[in-house]
Amino acid sequence: MTKNRSKMLIILLTIVLIVGLVASFVSFTYPLSIGGVKYQYSSFVNELVLGSDINSGVMFKYNATARNVSDEQDYDALMDNTLSGLRDILDDSGFKNSTIARNGDNGVYVEVGGIIDRDDSQEVISLISNPQQLVFSSSSDSSDTDAIFATSSDISSIEALQAPDGSAYYVEITFKKDRLNYIKQKTEEIVGDSGTFYMLVGDQQMGSSTTAITTSSISMTTKDFIDMATTKKYAVQLRVGLLPLDLTCTYYGAISASAGARGNVANPMLYIWVALGIMVVASLVFFILKYKQIGAMAMFNILFYIVLGLFFLQSVPLVHINLSGVFAIVLSYVLAVVALTNTLESARQEYAKGKKLHTSLKQGINSTVVSTITINVMLALAGIVCALMPNMAIQSFGIVTMVLALLNIFCSQALMRLMIKLYLPFNSEDGKKCNFTKEEGNN
Amino acid sequence: MINRDFSKSGKQYIKQNKIVLITLAIILLLGIIMLCVFGFKGGPDVKGYNTFSITVGSEYQADKLGDYTDDINLCLSNHDAQLYSVQVAGEGSTTTLVVKYDGKIKNTTLFNAELSDEMVVSVSNFSEHSKVGASLTSKDYIYAFACGLIIVTLAVIYSACRYNLACAITALGSSIFGVGLLMALTAIFRLTINSSFLAINIITLLLILGECFMIFDSLEKERNKLKDKNDRSTQLANTLKSNAFRQKFMYGAIFALALIFIVLMPSSIKQASLIVLFAVVVSMFVAIYALPFLWCLTITQVSDKIRVKKEKVVKTKQTVESAEGELENNYTENQVIEVKEDSGDESPSSDDNITIE
């Protein structure tokens, strides 16, 4: 590579890096408006999905009551099923970073994390703050309890679906097998008397039918089901209503991180950024002091690693960063720095033995290929195993580890090779500029 | 200090490092006893917590959050309870401080009155104190264990295939020892564990296994450089020397970061960071002392036997082939007898007639 070409590429990469760093850390409003609307750019850091342990979330408190007297005897078991059911609903709705626990004797406490902005918190509030009880009745009057022949407890699942031709959205309600015959029989009786049966949610009539139920499931649609998101939201509200215990939301609202306050700062995420910042600055200073010019290229590499890492962490849909995720970031970052240090140390050793600078650098990176790939592939595999686990702490750790390990292979091998290639036209002989010295007798 | 002269046999090494090994055994034993008697000191995720909320309304001042926390902490400690965290919920007139703590307050009315007097902000309402259950279930522990097991199994299989059986045993032994030591230290120092503890154990495993692969790779490289392939002592000494800088740098960096976390973070993260600090110390100990020792111990026991057998077979074949070649070339009975005399045995195909270097 010629010196000029190398210079040009370095300038180009520097521009890309600066743009990347701005995109990673700076949120701003676009100066030009489109159709009179000014759009806001949200940085990669802003878009990271953070857990409720290190960042704010939404808190819910529910009263949980048994539906009938016989249920009260099995209250504890029903409570366990309610908690796990609620977890499933939140997981399915994309709010995996949640804490769900029993609150007192008859309560449920929920803290939902992974809230990026106000819209997210409003979404989760609209999903689970208003559990809906669905009943099937021969009367359109919800207060006529004698007319009710099926309730949420007779339903096994509720799912939001779209018609195959894409024309409509609907909620499919599947009945429990042991209750199906009874429900079929009741609807046949009602329809046989030229009557109508109704699907009611609270005081609201959601649908009616003059045809008896003949299959295990029934579809329900309303004019409100304008898109999949609305239909799903409705299905989730009905699913919360299916839980074994009746939940009444007594409180909901935004709450700061569950790890608690430190000093006057409500969310520890600020301190985490400070700690990570110290780590990054320290490693960059280390590279410059220890390896001078080639250290600057390694610093360049590390900055690319940070930008790409933030980009992937905010764009890979399953990434949720809680405290375990932060530890995964620290581990991965240290291993990325270690991989580069290994390369430069190997090069230094080769140079000390009497080899030329360009040969030393190339051999340095070649000698670390196997170990870097082995370690990072192991990390990525371990990450995949962890990501498959249902526990959020392990899952978060796994996904972050996997993403950053794969990125580390790219940065420490492919990108660093490029950096060395770009550096050599400027200096392929003088080891002193890289703080490399030859051993006595190898001059 | 530990004697790192791994050239000695296993027995000699144990004899030379008696004090360190006894200390380790005591730590592990003490950890097991502590675990059996007290178990781990569970945090809010593990054993749940008690909670109440204080409505402070629009008088809430964000810059005085530290003072509110100190007041609450003081009152809780007066009632033998331990503060886990203070969270801010709601905004404006509904601003509430949600307090999570460990312990049982007998007289909550008295506590509320005391706290009301102590707080630098006037409190408009105290909620009832209620118990919130654990968010970690037994399933989570099983999943974490399964996760660790799968990772170790994969690493052991990889080590056996890529390196040799001795390396596989070393990787397995180091992992078990490392995680065991971390758990023992966590139990002995009564560090509070939460859901991140599961991840920290996996970090320890990954650090140890990563270290194993690095060391095994270096060992292979160093062996190739040596004239005497069976000079374990030089092979290991060179490996440790070439890895020393990386080890110091890597563990030093994580150690420093864990310290920064301990200084900066709120108490719950501080506890987790303290366990990370222990994890780094344990991984470093395993990397510098336990792993080389285990490798030395197993390589002489397992790998050498296999290698000696293989080399015996190869040499036997070579001897037989050369003997046959010489027979064909010379057709003299004397030379055949010479070969037999060299081998020191009547039968040239016998295993015992080979002198291994």
Say which CATH number the domain at B264 has: 1.20.1640.10
Are B256 and B178 in a shared domain? yes
Q: What is the CATH number of the domain that holds B106?
A: 3.30.70.260
ipTM of the complex in this document: 0.76
Flag whether residue A272 sits within 8 Å of chain B, measured between CB atoms: yes
pTM above 0.95, yes or no: no
Q: For residue B280, is it within any domain?
A: yes
If asked whether residues B114 and B246 sit together in one domain, one would say no
Task: Note whether A265 contacts B65, CB cutoff 8 Å.
Answer: yes
Q: Are residues B78 and B164 in the same domain?
A: no
pLDDT values of chain A reduced to their tens digit, one per residue, 443 residues: 788 899 999 999 999 999 999 999 999 888 777 777 778 888 999 888 888 888 888 888 888 888 777 777 788 888 888 888 888 888 777 777 778 888 878 888 888 876 766 667 777 787 777 777 788 888 888 778 788 888 877 888 888 888 888 778 888 888 888 888 888 888 888 888 777 888 887 777 777 777 777 788 888 777 778 888 888 888 888 888 888 888 888 888 888 888 888 777 888 888 899 989 999 999 999 999 999 999 999 999 999 999 999 999 999 888 888 888 998 999 899 999 999 998 999 899 899 988 899 999 999 999 889 888 988 998 898 888 888 877 777 888 899 999 999 999 999 999 999 999 999 999 888 888 998 988 777 66
Instruction: Decide which of B114, B132, B150 is a domain's last residue.
Output: B132
Q: With an 8 Å Cβ cutoff, is B262 touching chain A?
A: no
Nearest to A259 among B89, B154, B269 (CB): B269
Residue B312 belongs to a domain? no
**pLDDT tens per residue, range B131-175:** 887 878 788 888 888 889 999 999 999 999 988 888 999 999 999
> How many Cα atoms are found within 13 Å in the side-chain-facing hemisphere of B348?
18
Are A374 and B150 within 8 A, CB to CB?
no
What φ, ψ does residue A354 adopt, rounded to 5°? 115, 0
DSSP conformation letters of B314-340: HHHHHHHHHHHHHHHHH--HHHHHHHH
- In a shared domain, residues B282 and B226: yes
The helix-helix angle for B267-285 and B232-264 (nearest 10°) equals 170
Radius of gyration of chain A from Cα atoms?
A: 30
Q: What is the pLDDT at residue B305?
A: 66
Report residue B196 as tokens. Answer: 């991140």
Residues B118 and B21 in one domain: no
Same domain, B159 and B279: yes
Co-location of B234 and B153 in the same domain:
yes
Question: Distance between CA atoms of B209 and B218, rounded to whole angstroms?
Answer: 14
- Considering the domain architecture, whether residues B142 and B256 belong to the same structural domain is answered as yes
* Main-chain dihedrals φ then ψ at residue B95, nearest 5 degrees: -60, 130
Instruction: Please give the Cα distance from B342 to B353 (Å, whole number).
Output: 8
Residue B248 located in a structural domain: yes
SS3 (DSSP) at A83: helix
At A117 the pLDDT is 65
Q: In this structure, are B209 and B164 located in the same domain?
A: yes
Q: Which domain holds residue B21?
A: 10-42+136-306
Which chain B residues touch A381 with a CB distance below 8 Å? 151, 154
Q: How many CB pairs under 8 A join A and B?
A: 208
Mean pLDDT, chain B, as a whole number? 81
Helix (H, G, I), strand (E, B) or coil at B333: helix
Pair (B60, B158) in one structural domain: no
Within a domain: B263: yes
Domains of chain A with bracketed CATH: 57-255 (no CATH), 267-434 (1.20.1640.10)
Q: End of a domain among B289, B306, B323?
A: B306
Residue B328 inside a domain? The answer is no
Specify the pLDDT at position B220.
Answer: 87
CA–CA gap between residue B48 and residue A102 (Å, rounded): 9
- What's the total number of domains in chain B? 2
Task: Please check the confidence at residue B337 and state whether its pLDDT lies above 50.
Answer: no
Amino acid identity, position B128: E
Asked if residue B215 and residue B98 are part of one domain, the reply reads no
User: Is the CB of residue B134 less than 8 Å away from at least one CB of chain A?
Assistant: yes
Strands A107-112 and A98-103, how do they pair?
antiparallel
B331 compared with B349, residue with greater pLDDT: B331
* Residue A413 DSSP symbol: I
Final residue of a structural domain among B101, B132, B163: B132
Cβ-Cβ contacts under 8 Å, B136 against chain A? 391
**Three-state SS at A100:** strand
Is the CB of A264 inside 8 Å of chain B's CB atoms? yes
Contact A392 B246 (CB under 8 A): no
In a shared domain, residues B89 and B233: no
In a domain, B63, yes or no: yes
CA dihedral B203, B205, B209, B210 (to 10 degrees): 10
Nearest residue to A296 via CA among A121, A434, A146, A122? A434
Tokens 């016989």 label which residue?
A: A70
> Tokens for A285?
């200073």
